[in-house]
Chains A and B, each alone.
Chain A
Amino acid sequence: MTIYLCIDDTDSIDSRGTGELAELIRDGIEQAGWGKTDGVTRHQLLLDKDIAYTSHNSSMCFRAEIADVHFDDVVRYASAFLEKESEPGSDPGLCVVRCDALLDTEALIRFGYKTKRQVVRVEEAYALAARLRIHLSAHGGTGEGVIGALAGAGLRISGSDGWFKGALPLRADTVMTVAELCALHGVEGVKLLDGPYLDGSDTVQFGKMNKAMLVDGKAVLLVTSASDGYKSCSKKQLMEHEESKLHVAFE
């Protein structure tokens, strides 16, 4: 079965980040032989004085294909991991969505986008999770991380939010065709920031840090036009691109 596992609010200002803990949970699932996992994605949530985030209010999510019999094992493992590894003073939350049981995908995605634009209460998150048959649990502190955990799962399932943890291993100023990039580095497409996908024969010049974004459910490198081809977007451009989603009207 396909699952999405998302965690939020596990860290303190001087501790390991939530992204690192998400990667460790991925490793644990694979090492136990319960299934195969995809890359971790980071999802920006609302920045508001009424929200008790550490410094950036983002949650971390990954997809996994696991054997049905191991769903409870994954939940137990991730829960115990968060209770052991989260920082004192944090408010960790865990969300695990099993796609075969999810009753209303659109409702979950709407919740994700809502938490990018509005302050949401814990009670609302629990009520939605119960209605949609999603595992949602708190593992310390106030437990308010459940809001971001549920939201992050919805945003990951939306297929077009956030970026993958880790930079692509590409040297600045080198040039490669789209086909080469996709074959060598697991990128599933190269797309203009606000335009179409490039062809396999198009060439891209890389910047200092090259990150894959979650676009159309795939790991996609976003680029801008350059005089002699295309250039990968800088982290700053990607940040601004993501920020623009915070200001889109929510229905």
Chain B
Amino acid sequence: MEFANGKRDWQTTGRIATGCPHFCFDTEEEIVAEDVVSCYNCRYRRWTSGSFTCIKQQQPAKGM
């Protein structure tokens, strides 16, 4: 399932990633923002044209 809030919702993705047991920073060349815990920086997010999906399937109801 694709994250519904696109690629700029740092607040929601920060909250999700902070509580996610699978969060893991992607490699340096693939992270989006420095030192920010966010789904956008996680190696388990798969980018789509307008947003991303979570490969670990840890998507919360809100924002999805």
A residues apposed to B, CB below 8 Å: 13-14, 17, 19-20, 42, 46-49, 53-58, 163, 165-167, 207-209, 234-236, 239
Q: Tell me if B11 counts as interface (CB < 8 A to partner A).
A: no
Q: Which residues of A contact B43 (CB under 8 A)?
A: 13-14, 55
Q: Which residues of B contact A234 (CB under 8 A)?
A: 33-34
Task: Give Cα distance in the complex from A48 to B46, angstroms.
Answer: 11
Which residue of chain B lies nearest to A49 when distances are taken between CB atoms in the complex?
B48
A17-B49 contact in complex given A55-B43, A55-B55, C-beta closer than 8 Å: no
- For the residues of A in contact with B, the DSSP-based class is loop
A47-B31 contact in complex given A13-B43, A13-B44, A55-B43, C-beta closer than 8 Å: no
Contact pick for A236, options B26, B33, B45, B47, CB 8 Å: B33
Determine if B35 and A56 form an interchain contact, defined as CB atoms under 8 angstroms apart. Answer: no
Q: Considering residues B26, B46, B55, which has the most beta carbons from chain A within 10 angstroms of its beta carbon?
A: B46
Tell me the count of chain B residues lying within 8 A, CB to CB, of chain A: 18
A208-B34 contact in complex given A17-B29, A19-B27, A163-B29, C-beta closer than 8 Å: yes
Q: Which residues of A contact B30 (CB under 8 A)?
A: 17, 42, 55-56, 58
Which residue of chain A lies nearest to B55 when distances are taken between CB atoms in the complex?
A13
Q: Tell me if B32 counts as interface (CB < 8 A to partner A).
A: yes
Shortest B62–chain A CB gap in Å is 23
Contact pick for A208, options B26, B35, B49, B55, CB 8 Å: B35
A48-B28 contact in complex given A13-B55, A236-B33, C-beta closer than 8 Å: no
Shortest A4–chain B CB gap in Å is 18
Shortest B7–chain A CB gap in Å is 8
A-B contact pairs, 30 of them (CB 8 A): A13-B43, A13-B55, A14-B43, A19-B27, A20-B27, A42-B30, A53-B46, A55-B26, A55-B43, A55-B44, A55-B45, A55-B47, A55-B55, A56-B30, A56-B46, A56-B47, A57-B47, A58-B29, A58-B30, A163-B29, A165-B29, A166-B28, A167-B28, A207-B34, A209-B28, A209-B34, A209-B35, A234-B33, A234-B34, A235-B31
Which residue of chain B lies nearest to A166 when distances are taken between CB atoms in the complex?
B28
Shortest B23–chain A CB gap in Å is 14
Task: Give Cα distance in the complex from A163 to B28, angstroms.
Answer: 11
